Amino acid sequence: MSLYAFNTTNNLTGNNFGDALLSVQSLKIPALASTILLGGDKINFKQLNITRNGFSVDNLRHNYGSNIIGISPDGKTGVNASAYFVNLYNAEAPGDDYDEIKTPQKDKDIPVDIVFSKDGKLLASAGGTAVIIIDVVTQKVLKTIATGNYAVTGTAGIGAFSPDNKMYVAFGIRQEKPSRFMACFNIASGVKLWERGGEDYTFKFTADNKVVFCIDRYNKKALWLNANTGELIAEKAFGDNTIYNAIVTDDLKFALLNMDNTIEVWDLNTFTKTGELGGHNAFVSYSTFMNDEKYLVSASWDNTIRIWDWKNHRELIKLVLFDENEEWVAFMPDGRFDASANVLKKMYYTRGKEIIPLEGLYEQFFTPLLINRVLNGEQFAPLPVDINNLKMVPKVKMTYEAGQRNLVVSNDIPTFNNTTGVAEITVTATSPDDAIDEIRVFHNGKIVTLTSRNLIVTNDSKASTVTKKYTINLLPGKNNVRALALNTQRTESTPDELAVIYTGGNAAVAPAPVSTNAGGIIAAIDKNATLNLVVVGINQYKNPKMALNYALADATAFKDEAERDARTMVTSVKTYLVTDDKADKAGIIAALTDVQKNARPQDVFVFYYAGHGVISEKNKEFYLVPNDVTDLKNVDEALELHGIPSKMLQQYAINIAAQKQVFILDACQSAGAFATLMTNDANRQKSFAVVARSTGTHWIAASGSQQFANEFAQLGHGAFTYVLLKAMKGEAASNKMVTINGLKNYLQVQVPDLMKKYNGTPQYPSSYGLGDDFPVEVIK
């Protein structure tokens, strides 16, 4: 359904209201892997992958597919079933490939569920008048069990294998009485062993194959039946409220019942309700255990998927997915969030009629690797800002007084003409119930340096309204200026934008940006621009134990490739190669300072680093580790003296005038406990994210826990740089161009694949940047 508004004064152009969020119609989670399969309401389904190092979503759709899905207990085989076909796919590398198994179904026998045996060797595709048993290994139909003259049906959990794979129990509906019934079949012979009446069962065999436990959802009862005869051993009643769905732990100690908006936890030994999981705002349709029954995952009509610590009755994560893409957002109850790159603009909080964009809460609440860390049991420190007591979102307004407004207005961004090359911009920021902490002004996407205090308003001038004047040296052609303000809670305003077109003097008009099919803008590079390349590679540290194998090779190869690529676009390249014994703090800073002195706005600045990197225990900040830091543990003091903090890189990003900047960090982290690595990696990602965001520069970094390990000797490089070089050699090209965003996307896909191949687990590089995309190579 869509709702449109039409503007009568603008030729009745339509405006759509609302996005399609994933409406979950089926939910499957393997017993032994952290994968979540979700069926949508069309023929699509999603696979969510929670790996050791990250989280990703695959949007899948098979020919003759459906939202009827299953996954083997080991998480290796995914299933998508439809009438006539059961498709098996490799759930460890989900994609377009799958094996089609033709099933002997009749027209009406559309499967309603896929059930795996506990050992994962068999699967049942059940629906209509048949339960089709398939041998997963040989991919052959083993047996077609006819279930009677009407339909095997139900919402979920309609059937179960006995642990010895000899029996299958199913729920069905038929015309004769009892019309709603359960039946148990011998799988080998297909013979019905017994049946009895009842409604919408949840089935579970005991480990000794002797007892079938079931929950009659309609009659609100738990039943224990003799598995061989169907005779009733015991029954107990749950209460008066309607049970819409139910699941049971493997040891039959707990049952979790979906009761409209809440999930009740029942102890089956004492037969008492021990707790309630409340939080969903609408009907809970499905729930399933995850991670050896440690967590519960639930899907609701409120369009959220939630992960619970069900034993402690605590909501851990709320997940939002969109229908047609692979975007996702995850929230903790305290407001911390993690999200895929493009989704921030779509998500927001409301308070009354006030809208608080998620982007505006970025600095305090953005938490990389959130899902992994929460499921890993990390205890987060309380946030300095209470999501329930946020101050109002600051507002920012830009004025360009001297300018005459151009009559041609596009996209509602005020556009001005200019002939002097200098624009005086006034920014007024207000924060009604707080103070303005910072104003950021971006010129063509990159922050401008106007004061040595990097735009942060000093304490004494903190006020609810701040007005500042900025002088911007314009580039020929169109100049985009964007301003935003932050309050003391670091909540960002919605940016204000204007454009100034400079057409005066003898300045050549800059090349026009190129629009891509994807809708993004690629800023063209002036052929008279200079590429300033600072490349740091450190194999030899003063402490020999810290020596690395491939950092130097990586740096050199990167330098050569970057220079080669740059010559396809610009005439002048200025390289600073800082390696091994030269790469102490002073050596690196000398190169950066020189770039700061010489780079002009139209220039390009690339910083590449291959060497050690650490997170300081003290301030959680990320440091590059030059050659004279002699230890990687307890080094806070040494770091302060010899390390290069991300803050310092941020300052160079601001001070270097080049508007096109990219920082590439292939910094390996010292080994440590997995949980520490994860947290450090997340802190490091956050450092980069905040720096990239505040400066309008691009940052690409290898995964923090990646090692320059021996397994990669055959590549001759670290995996990250190996893939980066391939990308720069043209593999990431589209439209005869390799751009920064093209590089990022290529790395995002290829690095995990390569890491998985050589290391067993995929690891994800991180990339951040809201600056304009720009080419790094043009392919002739």
Residue 334 touches another protein, criterion: CB under 8 A: no
Q: At 425, give phi and psi (nearest 5°).
A: -115, 135
Which conformational region is residue 746 in: left (phi greater than 0), alpha (psi within -120 to 50 degrees), or beta? alpha
Question: Checking phi first, is residue 444 left (phi over 0); if not, alpha (psi -120 to 50) or beta?
Answer: left
CB of 42 to another protein, least distance (A): 13
- Which lies closer to another protein via its Cβ, residue 345 or residue 545? 345
Among positions 58, 92, 260, 378, the unique one binding another protein when judged by CB under 8 A: 260
What character string, x for contact with another protein (CB under 8 A) and - otherwise, covers 64-103?
----------------------------------------
By beta-carbon proximity to another protein, the closer residue of 7 and 543 is 7
For residues 135 and 260, which CB has a smaller minimum distance to another protein in the complex? 260
Secondary structure (DSSP) of 43-70: SEEEEEEE-SS-EEEEEEE-TT--SEEE
4 scored as a contact of another protein (CB under 8 A): yes
User: What secondary structure does DSSP assign to 712-742, as a single string?
Assistant: GGGGTS-HHHHHHHHIIIIIT-BTTEEEHHH
Q: Give, in order, the Cα–Cα distances in Å from 172 to each of 13, 104, 150.
A: 51, 19, 7
Report the alpha-carbon distance of residue 203 to residue 169 in Å, rounded: 8
Q: Which CB sits closer to another protein, 389 or 459?
A: 389
User: Does 17 sit near another protein (CB under 8 A)?
Assistant: yes
Residue 757 is a binding residue for another protein (CB under 8 A): no
How many residues make up the chain in this entry? 780
Shortest distance in whole angstroms from residue 4 CB to another protein: 6
Q: Which two tokens stand for residue 328?
A: 């996702």
Would you give the DSSP letter of residue 594?
Answer: H
Report 347-366 residues binding another protein (CB under 8 A). Answer: 347-353, 355-356
Q: Restricting to residues 282-311, which ones interact with another protein according to CB under 8 A? A: 282, 302-304
Selected binder of another protein within 138, 229, 281, 515 (CB under 8 A): 281
Beta bridge partners of residue 768, listed in sequence order: 699
Based on the shown chain and the rule CB under 8 A, indicate whether residue 14 belongs to the binding site for another protein. yes
Dihedral of alpha carbons 381, 383, 386, 388, sign: negative
Closest separation in Å from C-beta 307 to another protein: 16
Q: Which is nearer to another protein, 363 or 772 (CB)?
A: 363
The residues, any chain, with a CB within 8 Å of residue 613's CB and separated by 6 or more, are 622, 623, 624, 625, 665, 667, 668, 669, 684, 704
Verify binding: residue 8, another protein, rule CB under 8 A: yes
Buried b / exposed e along 640-677 (16+ C-beta atoms within 10 A): eebbbbbebbbbbbbbbbbbbbbbbbbbbbbebeeebb
Binding residues for another protein, total number by CB under 8 A: 42
> Is residue 12 near another protein by the rule CB under 8 A?
yes
CA gap 395, 712 in Å, rounded: 51
Nearest distance in Å: CB 260, another protein: 7
Contacts of residue 651, Cβ cutoff 8 Å, sequence gap at least 6: 454
CB of 22 to another protein, least distance (A): 10
Angstrom distance (rounded) from CA 91 to CA 74? 10
* Dihedral sign of CA atoms 268, 273, 277, 281 in order: positive
Q: x/- string (CB under 8 A) for another protein, residues 207-246?
A: ----------------------------------------
Query: Which of the stretches 13-21, 183-191, 505-513, 735-743 binds another protein when contact is defined by CB under 8 A?
Result: 13-21
Rg (CA), the chain: 30
Please say whether the beta carbons of 456 and 491 come within 8 A.
no
3 is a contact residue toward another protein (CB under 8 A): yes
**409 is a site residue for another protein (CB under 8 A):** no
- Minimum Å gap between C-beta 12 and another protein is 5
By CB under 8 A, is residue 411 in contact with another protein?
no
Task: Name the one range near another protein by CB under 8 A: 127-135, 384-392, 452-460, 517-525.
Answer: 384-392
Question: With binding defined as CB under 8 A, does residue 19 bind another protein?
Answer: yes
In the complex, minimum distance from the CB of residue 363 to another protein, in angstroms, rounded to a whole number:
16
Instruction: Label residue 269 exposed, middle or buried (CB < 10 Å: 0-12, 13-18, 19+).
Output: exposed
User: Does 191 sit near another protein (CB under 8 A)?
Assistant: no
270 binds another protein (CB under 8 A): no
Query: Is the CB of residue 432 less than 8 Å from the CB of residue 629?
Result: no
Site string for another protein, 21-60 (x = CB under 8 A): x-x-------------------------------------
Residues near another protein (CB under 8 A): 1-9, 12, 14-21, 23, 260, 281-282, 302-304, 318, 320, 331, 346-353, 355-356, 387-390
